[in-house]
Amino acid sequence: MNKSKRPFTKSKRSFRRRLPPIQSGDRIDHRNMSLISRFISEQGKILSRRVNRVTLKQQRLITIAIKQARILSLLPFLNNQKQFER
């Protein structure tokens, strides 16, 4: 018997591992606007944890930071501006 041919082997797919959106040195703070703005949709909504690909603890910190930034009027609560293109 020749065992070299295996009909049901898994194909070795090479996939690129996605980099985490928050690096270890990044501080999740309401003043860090470049970091916070990555986790907000175009409408101004906070994106879900699944979309962000962050841990539960990081998502909680992001949410608190976004809410603090909104209260301090660094971020808008809503972004309803409809952009008309002609």
Question: pLDDT tens digit string along 27-86?
Answer: 899 999 999 999 999 999 999 999 999 999 999 999 999 999 999 999 988 887 765 555
Task: List % helix, strand, coil for the chain (3-state, nearest 5).
Answer: 30, 0, 65
pLDDT of residue 15: 74
Q: Whose structure tokens read 């008309």?
A: 84
pLDDT of residue 80: 76
pTM: 0.71
Residue 63 and residue 56 in contact, taking contact as beta carbons nearer than 8 Å: no
Amino acid in the structure at residue 79:
N
pLDDT of residue 73: 92
Closest CA to 35 of 61, 73, 71, 55: 61
Is the pLDDT at 22 greater than 90, yes or no? no
